[in-house]
Structure 1
């Protein structure tokens, strides 16, 4: 597996919500990441893919809710988010597409 493939395996997609937009005003970008990735892997992947300097990485795991799907009980998947704070002067514009 090439180095780029592993970086794309770590970072799934950017998360664009009202909360993540407020975080971007303070130099942070929010990504959905793989559930088994750790902070150094996330930092390395963001720096390699976007060519920016990362200051800090905060992560959170949202447990999947139990919901009804067509009358039967099911469970949504667990989601891990990474709040990536960038160094001064570095930006990532996720709203235009990757």
Structure 2
């Protein structure tokens, strides 16, 4: 099971990066211990804290010739990782 799916890079999370907090989209079934181990292994940092949240999918409606089609986007699980003071995760090093 691949625990980390992708880092979340938005203005809100970029501001949190300045204080040592990073956001990731993670597998729905992953727990905090698995997330901590995956981040430490992938980025080589020491994780101080892991906070998780589940975001319900939004309801979307598309209007077509045959009528309105409603659906829901998929549920995602987010993790906010706090790294030990003085350590940094660089998402842009491989670009």
Instruction: Please indicate, yes or no, whether the TM-score normalized by the shorter chain is above 0.5.
Output: yes
Paired residue total: 91
Instruction: Please give the alpha-carbon distance, in whole angstroms, between the structure 2 residues aligned to 1:83 and 1:14.
Output: 10
The Cα RMSD (Å) is 1.5
Alignment match, 1:65: 58
> Aligned pair 1:82/2:79, yes or no?
yes
Distance 2:29 2:55 in 1: 13
**Distance (Å, rounded) in 2 between the aligned partners of 1:62 and 1:53:** 26
Select the structure that is richer in helix. 1
Structure 1 stretches (4+) deviating beyond 3 angstroms?
Answer: 95-98
* Equivalent position to 2:26, from 4, 24, 33: 33
Q: Is the 8 A contact 1:39 1:57 kept in 2?
A: yes
Closer, same or farther in 2 for the Cα pair 1:45/1:87, shift >3 Å?
A: same
Contact kept? 1:16, 1:95, Cα under 8 Å: no
- Which TM-score applies when normalising by structure 2? 0.87
Q: What is the alpha-carbon distance in structure 1 between the residues aligned to residue 23 and residue 94 of structure 2?
A: 14
Q: TM-score, normalised by structure 1?
A: 0.85
Gaps (5+ residues) in structure 2? none
